[in-house]
Amino acid sequence: MEHTTSTERLQGVRNAVARACREAGRKAEDVTLVAVSKTFPAEEMTPVLEAGQRVFGENRVQEAQAKWPALKAQWPDVELHLIGPLQSNKAREAVELFDVIHTVDRPKIAAALAVEMARQGRHPKLFVQVNTGVEPQKAGILPQDADAFIAECRERHGLTIAGLMCIPPVEAVPDPHFALLEKIAARNGLHELSMGMSADFPAAIRQGATLVRVGSAIFGHR
């Protein structure tokens, strides 16, 4: 790690994604690599953009607002993903800036997003975050409440939900969490799964991830 560059690490992650897809009998193009750039400054994005990476994840609306508009002016096909918790008073900015929001997890956020999407005529792709480990400090709808919440997003707020997202507990073996997310998605007719980070994205791909969110394995330690 120490003597490699972000572009070398990016290539390593791309190779590992391709290998995991091959081993799982899946097509490489069915898995999107989201490069998680939170905490890293704008200038560190340049080599990775020049290496062709276009999909980036940020966990804070304000940090993304400071970092990305200038980069998007230079690379207009950048796709920005919000992967951190969203406050309803930031819904306007989130809908303005992000192409995909992974963290829809409560009625108040669903309502605020619906209002903003109608107002702006902009429709980011939405994922419902599920707290698969039922961790009190973690965002996400509880697994037992997920079906009702997805239905509420669709029927009450008119939202199109693309898929589900989870962050397994840090110390846990992630596979059962990925399997649970896949099961909840399947029974709700959802086809996209945002799961897998630097430590566990090959396992997530084996379990059906369509987006993997990889930060430190590309940009280095935060």
Ligand X SMILES: *Cc1c(COP(=O)(O)O)cnc(C)c1O
Residues in the site for ligand X, rule: CB under 6 A? 36, 38, 59, 83-84, 167, 197-199, 213-217
Angle at 52 (CA atoms; ends 99, 219), nearest 5 degrees:
80
**Cβ-based nearer residue to ligand X, 63 or 93:** 63
Residue 63 CB, nearest distance to ligand X (Å)? 12
Give min distance, CB of 98 to ligand X, in A.
13
Q: Is 206 in a helix, a strand, or coil?
A: helix
Q: Which CB sits closer to ligand X, 208 or 215?
A: 215
Q: Which is nearer to ligand X, 115 or 135 (CB)?
A: 135
Of the pair 154, 175, the CB lying nearest ligand X is at 175
Q: Give all strands (DSSP E) within 132-177, no chain letters.
A: 161-165
In angstroms, what is the minimal distance from the CB of 73 to ligand X? 25
> How near is the Cβ of 201 to ligand X at its closest, in Å?
8
- For 29-58, b where at least 16 C-beta lie within 10 A, e where not — what string? eebbbbbbbbebeeeebeebeeeebebbbb
Give the chain's end-to-end CA distance (angstroms, integer). 13
